[in-house]
Structure 1
Amino acid sequence: MSSSAIVPFSEPPYLAGLPSPYYKPTHLRWQKACREFISKNLLENALEWDTAEILPESVFETFAKAGMLLPSLPAPLPVEWLKRLGIHDILGAVKVEEFDYIHTLIYCDEMARTGLAGPSGSLTTGISFGVPPIVKYGNKQLQERFLPELLTGKKRTCIAITEPGAGSDVANISTTATKTADGKHYIVNGSKKWITNGIWAEYSSMAVRTGGPGPSGLSMLVVPLKGYPGVNMRRLKVGGQVSAGTTFIELDDVKVPVENLIGEEGMGMRYIMTNFNHERLTIAIGATRQARVALAAAMEYVLKREAFGKTLVEQPVVRHRLAKCGAMLESQWAWVEQFVYQMTQLPKEIADIELGGLTAMVKAQSGIVLNECAQCAVLLFGGNGYTKSGQGELVERIYREAPGIRIPGGSEDVMLDLGVRQLVKNFKNKTKAMERPKGSSKL
């Protein structure tokens, strides 16, 4: 047990001295190394940078040089590629071949200790979601051309799925990629909206329509962006995550070599859906820590703030509000931990089926919990929580960030519906597999 006094709700139970079945010595070493590096290079100035709506380029370079963008990739890491690039460990704390999803959990949790999604998102969103399709489905020549610079942070990328007319409804993507007469290039036309990191990205893993309507007509391409002919990009002003570089991309007869096709034509929907699982899980982890930051700030505030002759925490109504949100927070964290542990134990192909729908649900629930905890913090801070400076500045900012968790990566209502539909689908498939074939005499 920890002998030091920790503000209630400020740390996950395993860091508050309570026993846990999930964390091995390798994970605990990694947590300490992560906290030291992230505190020094991100946490100290995160609020200031987010207020300025951009992180200095030097921060990205510092993280890239230390290999601290790589933990945002799905586990296991692309070990063969990393070793080819001379990367054998991260921060000297964990070997790349030992890295599992619990290491990912720790990294995402530590990166979100800023309380804000923007600063960490400006660093990791591109590599976290833009690189995996190339690693998983790209052929040898595609990987040789792009992975060395993307994995080392020499070039930046993003994932470009969403469009003005197709958000969570991915099957209705309308950006087209039409082959030239000589079959050597795709000509890409259309637009992408709400693309995180896009404004800084040299490349994107982009969803395009190479065939007819519906999901079977979708493919994925590596499309050059920054400074490339026919590409026009502008930053969008959004309510939260303002430093993450949300971008509108216009594509006007953009000429892309056919060699930039990721995997096979017509398989884009499958690639996109598989990629979403990692995206939604990392969102859930970060959002749960954001909720923790908000609730812990409120707890710290009510312990010292006096009103009506006593501290706020002595008011039953205040304790009741904290208790309700604290129960939601710790329940959500327990689900996230359990979920991540299951991913370390299941083969990838089984995890995608068994956990796919649940991933959507855990992501949706993380936004609900964040909204409740952030709102609780704002209300307990009172006027200070409604002010964009001073004691309540951070919780005011976190509350504005809640919609940025509940909408991107699959909007909340769509995720809740998807989760149940997937569970029902799995149930029906298993039931059908157990049925006796017609005409069979076997019991």
Structure 2
Amino acid sequence: MAEKHGQETSLRSITRDEVAKNNTEDSLWTIVDHKVYDLTDFLEAHPGGNVVLQQYAGKDSTTAFYNLHRHEVLQKYADLCIGLIEGEKSEVVDMKPGDLSPVPYAEPIWLTPAFKSPYYKESHRQLRRELRVFVDEHVKPEAQEKEADGTYISQELTDKMAANNLLAMRLGPGKHLHGKKLLGGVKGEEFDYFHDLVIAQEFVRVNSRGFQDGAFAGMMISLTAIQQWLNNDSLKQKVTDECLSGKKFMCLAITEAFAGSDVAGLKTTAEKTPDGKHYIINGTKKWITNGMFADYFVTGCKTSKGFSVILIPKEGNEDNITVKRIKTAYSTAAATTYIQFENVKVPIDHLLGREDNGFIVIMSNFNHERWMMACGVTRWMRTVTEECMKWSNQRLVFGKPLNQQPVIRQKLAKMISLTEACQAQLEIITYQMNNMTYAQQNKLLGGPIGLLKSYATRCAHDIADDAVNIFGGRGITQGGMGKVVEQFHRTYKFDAILGGTEEILADLGVRQAMKLMPKAML
């Protein structure tokens, strides 16, 4: 706030009478939030046309502006500001990179002043502070650009993330972080699942659903399997080093046109060569995130007596691997891909786990993936709730703010309650993860995490629906005031389907609970 006050005191002091005199096309000034803007040279460039600006020439247009625009528009055109009204101060919070939102429920309770949490330590807060600045300054601008034009994450941003060990942190806790000093001064050995949660939710704040997955979601759900299950230690280290340095990229290639959640229905085959030293792989994969730029494919295959997972390098197999882009409801920045493997030859030591026993490799890897998705969709729900809180406060309907309508307050209450419920469930499961071994998580948390993801995406459905109704026409417009809501409504279903559908995961949770039922229960 001190920085903001310093900026305002450096502005020229202008009286309202002086503004009123500048009311023609040759000199057109207006007031927004006590600041004076010279729009003379902006008249023809204004996306909404010049007439609406002329209607407020020499006048205070604050109410009209915030009825139509997000505050970020003023930040974008800050160079048009020529002064501050004499004796007055701006009232709207001018957010800077790294700032916490002052809007109620816009941040998790543990980040809200005067509220406490038993889960988070100072290291989590330090990581969050530095990470938010990094995301706001480096990730969000590119995310917005890539979401719009559909191109993939740049090598420049990849290198910045690698240099700060952010690629490594996105895999979660583990030996790959030991000996590393992370953002906020966090030691790699102390990095836990609450640090992981912070990473997941802060990155989602870029509000770019396609780019969110395009920023190495494929690596996050495949390199973890390599670390846990690849038997060739030297190959494991090589692949890990290449991917975490941002030099090579990876994806998980399980789903096919023939099989999604039902991995037993896969038709891609891996047959051994007569000498037993290689696999020959044939088949197709569909909806593979990051596949368009992947150098490695962690691939599910049918083997002689079951299902196996094999690491397929693109290098040396370029003529035998074909990738084609798939256009979905979100941006092609996610690099969603159709893949064909045709007589791809892979050494036998690229097998993960044991042959014909790949189901356990995939199932154990699913827990972290589904947990990460629950982190993400819960943060999206919070962002959308914040958008609705702000919009209903500034939007005037029948002469009153929209939030003066009881029906709108009921919708807001529901959105807040669902978001907080999901965050609370997420945090209690995260606490269990911190206090269980990897094997215990695989045995005990598959059901609870499945139920969490299923519940969170159902809540997202309700929040997306109410948010669009609150925003009206803007809620179905890809730009302007409702752009975040429109994107959420268009893309929240990705979280309901990817990593296991709502129905499959809800059933998983109940079936796991049924296994724990006492034999005789009155």
Q: Same fold by TM-score, threshold 0.5 exceeded?
A: yes
Once the two structures are superposed, the pairs formed by residues 115-134 of structure 1 within 5 Å of their partners are 115-134=207-226
What letter matches 1:162 in structure 2?
Answer: T
Mapped contact 1:385–1:396 kept (Cα < 8 A): yes
Q: Distance in 2 between matches of 1:63 and 1:79?
A: 14
Pair 1:225-2:314 in alignment: yes
Mapped contact 1:112–1:286 kept (Cα < 8 A): yes
Pair 1:49-2:146 in alignment: yes
Once the two structures are superposed, the pairs formed by residues 34-433 of structure 1 within 5 Å of their partners are 34-54=131-151, 55-79=153-177, 83=179, 88-91=180-183, 93-139=185-231, 140-212=233-305, 217-225=306-314, 228-240=318-330, 242-425=332-515, 427-428=516-517, 431=518
| Secondary structure of 2:318 counterpart | coil
Larger helix fraction of residues: 1
Structure 1 residue 347: Cα displacement: 2.4
Coordinate RMSD, CA, aligned: 1.8
| Secondary structure of 1:222 counterpart | strand
Query: Structure 1 residues 137-146 or 391-400, which shifts more?
Result: 137-146
Q: CA deviation digits over 1:219-248, x for unaligned, max 9?
A: 111112376231000110011254211111
Q: 1:406 to 1:28 in 2, by over 3 A?
A: same
Mapped contact 1:241–1:404 kept (Cα < 8 A): no
**Count of residue pairs brought into register by the alignment:** 418
Once the two structures are superposed, the pairs formed by residues 16-27 of structure 1 within 5 Å of their partners are 16-17=112-113, 18-27=115-124
Q: Distance in 2 between matches of 1:166 and 1:346?
A: 32
Structure 1 residue 309: Cα displacement: 1.5
Q: 1:179 to 1:39 in 2, by over 3 A?
A: same
Q: Distance in 2 between matches of 1:371 and 1:61?
A: 36
Q: Distance in 2 between matches of 1:70 and 1:392?
A: 34
Structure 1 residue 7: Cα displacement: 1.1
Structure 1 residue 43: Cα displacement: 1.8
Q: Distance in 2 between matches of 1:77 and 1:282?
A: 19
**Structure with max Cα Rg:** 2
| Secondary structure of 1:177 counterpart | strand
Structure 1 residue 374: Cα displacement: 2.1
Mapped contact 1:72–1:107 kept (Cα < 8 A): yes
Q: CA deviation digits over 1:139-191, x for unaligned, max 9?
A: 22331342221222211101111011100101111110001111121100000
Q: CA deviation digits over 1:193-234, x for unaligned, max 9?
A: 11001111100111111123xxxx111111123762310001
- Higher RCO (CA-CA < 8 Å; seq separation 6+): 1
Q: Distance in 2 between matches of 1:281 and 1:174?
A: 28
Q: 1:144 to 1:106 in 2, by over 3 A?
A: closer
What letter matches 2:254 in structure 1?
Answer: I
Q: Distance in 2 between matches of 1:334 and 1:360?
A: 15
Q: Distance in 1 between matches of 2:331 and 2:454?
A: 18
Mapped contact 2:322–2:340 kept (Cα < 8 A): yes
Query: What is residue 9 of structure 2 aligned with on the other side?
Result: none
Structure 1 outlier segments of 4+, above 6 Å: none
Aligned-pair identity (%): 37
TM-score (norm 2): 0.77
Query: Structure 1 residues 281-290 or 70-79, which shifts more?
Result: 70-79
What letter matches 2:303 in structure 1?
Answer: T
| Secondary structure of 1:29 counterpart | helix
Q: 1:391 to 1:113 in 2, by over 3 A?
A: same
Query: What is residue 107 of structure 2 aligned with on the other side?
Result: 11
What letter matches 2:244 in structure 1?
Answer: L
Q: 1:15 to 1:144 in 2, by over 3 A?
A: closer
Mapped contact 1:304–1:312 kept (Cα < 8 A): yes
Mapped contact 2:214–2:334 kept (Cα < 8 A): yes
Structure 1 residue 8: Cα displacement: 2.1
Gaps of 5+ in 2: 1-99
Structure 1 residue 65: Cα displacement: 2.4
Q: CA deviation digits over 1:239-259, x for unaligned, max 9?
A: 125421111101111111112
What letter matches 1:122 in structure 2?
Answer: G
Mapped contact 1:237–1:246 kept (Cα < 8 A): yes
Mapped contact 1:198–1:246 kept (Cα < 8 A): yes
Q: Distance in 2 between matches of 1:321 and 1:92?
A: 38
| Secondary structure of 1:114 counterpart | coil
| Secondary structure of 1:168 counterpart | coil
Q: Distance in 2 between matches of 1:369 and 1:76?
A: 31
| Secondary structure of 2:310 counterpart | strand
Mapped contact 1:234–1:248 kept (Cα < 8 A): yes
Mapped contact 1:33–1:93 kept (Cα < 8 A): no
Query: Structure 1 residues 275-284 or 43-52, which shifts more?
Result: 43-52
Q: Distance in 2 between matches of 1:100 and 1:8?
A: 28
Pair 1:31-2:146 in alignment: no
Mapped contact 1:72–1:127 kept (Cα < 8 A): no
